[in-house]
Amino acid sequence: MTLRYDVDAVVLDIEGTTSATGFVVDVLYPYSRSRFAALLTERADDPAVSRAIAQVRELTDTPDADAVQIEKSLNAWLDEDRKATPLKTLQGIIWSEGFARGDLVSHFYDDVVPALRAWHTAGLRLYVYSSGSVAAQRAWFTSSPEGDLLPLVSGLYDTENAGPKQEPESYRRIAAATGTEPSRLLFLSDRPGELDAAVAAGWHAVGVRRPGEPYFEQGVGDHAQAGAFDEIGITSSRSTT
Ligand SMILES: CSCCC(=O)C(=O)COP(=O)(O)O
Ligand SMILES: [Mg+2]
């Protein structure tokens, strides 16, 4: 069955929705884990690194934590897949450099890129809202197996510039930043708490349930659901293209 929406913009979650959690956990996480120590010791004066270090100290209530202790906290968050903002900032720095060097190529499920191209061609604006940092998102879309997909995307949002993904206020912030009425926005995500927050902000939302993903068994509650993007038909009756 195809779900049908008439909206102006689609906002995409990455992990579990456009892309496999397994790829993130098995490829990207080890890549960052093995590089935290060097980043924390050799580049602690970089403004983004030093801000993330301060945020780790605050979140762990350890104002004097040294690089070894900070690294331990980062690795513990990695082990539990906790989407802590400073972890995501530091991963974003490491990954974007890895993508730029050609060490990494991102992953998209087979149904995703054709759908993104079709929606873009139909005049829809596409945005990303992920716990992964904006730097990581940019690299992810730039270095895809199908080449540079970044031109398809009109804006990138993360927990720094929009706020936590399970809070309706974050979705209100994104709607305002994109200049789009909430009722003209469609959010695609694998996590029920994120879908709840988007709907509470007046958005449409579809739960993407892919076999093998962490939330597949649990389901997406009462939200509309799709197993792949080709089950979602989107038009934009207000589009001028
Ligand atoms: C390019 S972001 C890499 C994935 C990641 O680290 C992450 O936290 C994604 O979380 P999401 O909110 O997209 O489920
Ligand atoms: Mg997700």
Indicate which atom in ligand 1 lies nearest the CA of residue 133: 2
Q: Is 130 in the pocket of ligand 1 (CB under 6 A)?
A: yes
Give the pLDDT score at 240. Answer: 61
Residue 207 and residue 157: Cα distance in Å, rounded? 19
Q: In what order do the strands lie in the sheet with 224-226?
A: 153-157, 125-129, 9-12, 185-189, 204-208, 224-226
- Look up residue 21 and give its two tokens: 């959690």
In testing the pocket of ligand 1, which one of 131, 138, 191, 213 has its CB within 8 Å of the most ligand atoms?
131
Distance from Cα 230 to the centre of ligand 1, integer Å: 22
Can you say how many angstroms the Cα of residue 85 is from the centroid of all Cα atoms in its chain?
12
User: DSSP code of 28?
Assistant: I
- Which ligand number lies closest to the CA of residue 208? 2
Contacts for 85-88: CB closer than 8 Å, 24+ residues apart: 85/52, 85/55, 85/159, 85/160, 86/51, 86/52, 86/53, 86/55, 86/56, 86/59, 87/56, 88/131, 88/132, 88/133, 88/136, 88/158, 88/159
Give the pLDDT score at 241. Answer: 60
Using a pLDDT cut of 70, give the percent of the chain over it. 99
In testing the pocket of ligand 1, which one of 130, 143, 170, 171 has its CB within 8 Å of the most ligand atoms?
130
Give the pLDDT score at 133. Answer: 97
Give the pLDDT score at 238. Answer: 80
pLDDT digits (tens, 9 = 90+) for 74-119: 999 999 989 999 999 999 999 999 999 999 999 999 999 999 999 9
Task: Decide if pLDDT at 167 tops 80.
Answer: yes
Nearest CA, atom 4, ligand 1: 132
Is the distance from CB of 206 to CB of 225 less than 8 angstroms? yes
Mean pLDDT of 142-158: 98
Residue 129 and residue 168: Cα distance in Å, rounded? 13
Nearest CA, atom 14, ligand 1: 15
Distance from Cα 150 to the centre of ligand 2, integer Å: 19
Residue type, 129: Y
Indicate which atom in ligand 1 lies nearest the CA of residue 132: 2
CATH class assigned to 3-19+106-235: alpha beta
List the chain domain ranges: 3-19+106-235, 25-101
Q: Name the residues around ion ligand 2, CB cutoff 5 A.
A: 13, 15-16, 190
pLDDT digits (tens, 9 = 90+) for 26-65: 999 999 999 999 999 999 999 999 999 999 999 999 999 9
Is the distance from CB of 150 to CB of 138 less than 8 angstroms? yes
CATH class assigned to 25-101: mainly alpha
Give the pLDDT score at 237. Answer: 87
Q: Please tell me whether residue 22 adopts helix, strand or coil conformation.
A: helix
Give the pLDDT score at 1. Answer: 75
DSSP alpha helix (H) spans, the chain: 21-23, 29-33, 36-42, 47-59, 67-79, 85-101, 112-121, 134-142, 168-178, 192-200
